[in-house]
Amino acid sequence: MSAKTQPSGERVEESTTSKEERLRSFLKQKAQDGEMYFKSKFIAEEVELSPKEIGALMVKLRDSASELNVEKWSYTSATTWRVEHA
């Protein structure tokens, strides 16, 4: 789990499940009109996750997200992922 600091200065633990759900929702929305190709480092800021976290979650989603087809597409300086609705 990672911790985030709220404006009040409190640290709040964020579960892997909520990170996975946030990424899953983002991918479903972006793949709405067809397939989507991306590198983790280019979407990291939008989903508020590190590229490393995204990579780890993509492997999980590839096996668990029945509503999405997730494929490791290519590797050129970083993994490119291909996502489409199942």
pTM of structure: 0.77
Domain tally for the chain?
1
Choose between 10 and 27: higher pLDDT: 27
Residue 3 maps to a domain: no
Residue 5 maps to a domain: no
* pLDDT above 90 coverage of the chain, percent: 71
Average pLDDT rounded to a whole number, residues 27-52: 95
- Picking from 1, 6, 46, the residue whose alpha carbon sits closest to that of residue 23 is 46
User: Residue 67 maps to which CATH number?
Assistant: 1.10.10.10
Taking only the tens place, the pLDDT of each residue in 46-68 is 999 999 999 999 999 999 989 99
Supply the range of the domain harboring residue 73: 16-85
Average pLDDT rounded to a whole number, residues 27-39: 94
